[in-house]
Amino acid sequence: MRVLGIDCGTERTGYGVIDSDGRAHHMVAAGCIRSSARDPLELRLLNIAGTLRSLIAEYRPDSAAVEEVFFAVNAKSALKLSHVRGVALLLIAEASIALAEYSPLEVKMSVVGYGRAEKSQVQQMVSSLLCLAEPPASEDASDALAIAICHATHAPFRAMEAHV
């Protein structure tokens, strides 16, 4: 199964594409879509949408996973993040890709085994699980890969639950 993981952000949106059989994972691609904080939000969303659309067309994932909205101290930041999530969810739906959403706690538990893990711990475990020579340079790409790994390990169980 090929999984696209997306770590949404208005200035940096991470993406990670993996191939997985549910136990062994292989990184196909990872990176970060950067947008300038000086640009209007609509131009940042346009940049993110165009890049995600290209990634979906190039890598043709079977499924996609995105982090759920979490409580944020700054309501304005949370609203902007929700706009990026909306763009990602729309593109996933347009491409008829199965979508899964996971909380940050679920992602960390799945990858590190500890729900309050630090970003550096997530990076190290992503590197280990994907047998990478070194951790991904971008924390955003690493988080997106972690989301993809979380989905790859949970997808078989979700499929069984759907048939019960």
* Residues assigned a catalytic role: 7, 67, 140
Query: Is the sign of the CA dihedral 26, 98, 87, 149 positive or negative?
Result: negative
What's the N-to-C CA distance of the chain in angstroms? 22
Q: How far is CA 144 from CA 34, 42, 57, 164, in A?
A: 14, 23, 18, 30
> 111 CB contacts (<8 Å, ≥6 apart)?
117, 122, 125, 126, 129, 146, 149, 150
Cα 1 to the center of its chain, rounded Å: 15
